[in-house]
Amino acid sequence: MARRSRVNVNEEDTELNMTPMLDVVFILLIFFIVTSVFVKTPGVDPFRPEANTDKEWKPTIMIAVNDLNEVWIDKRPYEVDEIRPVVQKMKDENSKAQAIIIGDKNSEAGVVMQIQEMMQDMDIVTRVSTN
């Protein structure tokens, strides 16, 4: 004697609702986009002398000074007295910002020192690289 199921389920009636899963995926995507930190590149690659030691450093603000003493931030040249609002805006975007100043070996040390002092005034951890 064959047993029959008491529950009669049609396979056509079952349907998987994907809307809640898509909502969760989009919320996660938005979360990762909002919390990500983007590094602003200086836009010029100055010639740097060789260094004996180098430690890994992952700055979020990169500033380059070329041999003509132009200050480059985010692929745009600036004068030394013009960069404070630009750097402040970057610091506002990321309160834990760290910076690196990349100086060309033919740039004036005074320009690099002015930028470093400004960064210290703004409480931004800064490292100077010439390699």
Q: Domains, the chain, ranges and CATH? A: 61-129 (3.30.420.270)
pTM, rounded to two decimals: 0.57
Q: pLDDT-derived band of residue 53, with 50, 70 and 90 as boundaries?
A: low
How are beta strands 71-73 and 76-78 bridged, if at all?
antiparallel
Distances (CA, A) of 75 to 4, 16, 17, 20, 40: 75, 49, 47, 42, 8
Mean pLDDT estimate for the chain: 82
Q: State both tokens at 66.
A: 């070329």
| pLDDT at residue 95, rounded to an integer | 82
Q: How far apart are CA 98 and CA 119, in angstroms?
A: 10
Strands 61-65 and 98-103: parallel
| Residue 90 burial (CB count, 10 A) | 21
Q: Which pLDDT value is given to residue 51? A: 65
Are the CB atoms for 57 and 97 separated by under 8 Å? Answer: no
- The percent of residues above 90 in pLDDT, for the chain, comes to 19
Average pLDDT score over residue span 53-59: 66
Looking at residue 12, its pLDDT comes to 63
Which of 6-10, 41-45, 66-70, 93-97 is the most confident on average?
66-70
Cα distances (angstroms) measured from residue 44 to each of 24, 75, 89: 41, 7, 21
